[in-house]
Amino acid sequence: MSQDLTSPNQLEVLQQLQNLDADLFTMNELKVKRPQELHREEIKVEAAEEFVQQIKDNIKSAKIDADKSELNIKTHEGEIEKVQVALNTARSNEEYQVFQNNIKRLKEEIGTMEEVVLEKMNVVEKLQGELETASGFVTEAQKEVAIKRTEVEAFVKEVEERISKLEVQRSEAAEKVKPDTLEIYSRVLSRYPDSPLAQIEGEVCQGCHMAVTKQLQSKLLMGTDIVQCLNCSRILFF
């Protein structure tokens, strides 16, 4: 196989370049992916926090309802006392009956309100149980997410350092490639970020699994120029 001896074997350098680009591709993906995973968990924790807040709001409003009814009961009891005083000054049986009816109605209303208070108290009790469970869950989830956040931050920093190193190595490798070859490589790379090069095996391009013509194979064997697959455009090697 004849080779251009004035420059390093272009295909070998391109393979180095491809390896570096594959690593860079993976690193850049990880740099995005891991924070995204973390973000999804943060959203879950936020939803759980909202749920806890909702329970707290419901407890608050049930307590307000209970307090209102209790206040109403007190007002009614005050009215009953007044009516009872008036009862003693009733001037006729009819008037007496009116006062009695008033007291009966007020007592009935108190009964209904007492039921409301009881019901709201039951609601509060039930919600407080739910709140305890949900709060425990949220506290745990917050702790876990905080640990993960620290991990992901450290991981991203590490990945960024590796990316910087890879980029230096990459530009060193790229310098060894002829400008027109590098241009072709970059074009193919933008199309196939993970595999701009393809091996010929059994006269078939391993990138697209289409046959490579004898003519192209001979051209490649001469080693004077890079050869691209006619079908997928990948840079071919044996």
Query: If binding is defined by CB under 5 A, does position 215 make contact with Zn ion?
Result: no
Tokens linked to 47: 């939803």
Distance, in Å, from the CA atom of 165 to the CA atom of 215, rounded to the nearest integer, reads 40
Q: Which of 106, 207, 227, 235 binds Zn ion (CB under 5 A)?
A: 207
CB of 11 to Zn ion, least distance (A): 16
Q: Which of 205, 220, 226, 235 binds Zn ion (CB under 5 A)?
A: 205
Among candidates 185, 173, 195, 170, which has minimal Cα distance to 226?
185
CB of 201 to Zn ion, least distance (A): 12
CB of 153 to Zn ion, least distance (A): 41
Q: Which of 186, 208, 217, 219 binds Zn ion (CB under 5 A)?
A: 208
CB of 204 to Zn ion, least distance (A): 9
Distance, in Å, from the CA atom of 93 to the CA atom of 86, rounded to the nearest integer, reads 13
Distance, in Å, from the CA atom of 206 to the CA atom of 200, rounded to the nearest integer, reads 6
Residue range at the interface with Zn ion (CB under 5 A); choices 2-10, 84-92, 105-113, 228-236: 228-236
Query: If binding is defined by CB under 5 A, does position 232 make contact with Zn ion?
Result: yes
CB of 227 to Zn ion, least distance (A): 11
Distance, in Å, from the CA atom of 163 to the CA atom of 24, rounded to the nearest integer, reads 6
Q: Are 146 and 105 within 8 A, CB to CB?
A: no
List Cα–Cα distances, 127 to 66, 83, 91, 117, 137, in angstroms.
14, 39, 53, 15, 15
Query: If binding is defined by CB under 5 A, does position 229 make contact with Zn ion?
Result: yes
Residue range at the interface with Zn ion (CB under 5 A); choices 19-27, 42-50, 132-140, 197-205: 197-205
Site residues for Zn ion per CB under 5 A: 205, 207-208, 229, 231-232
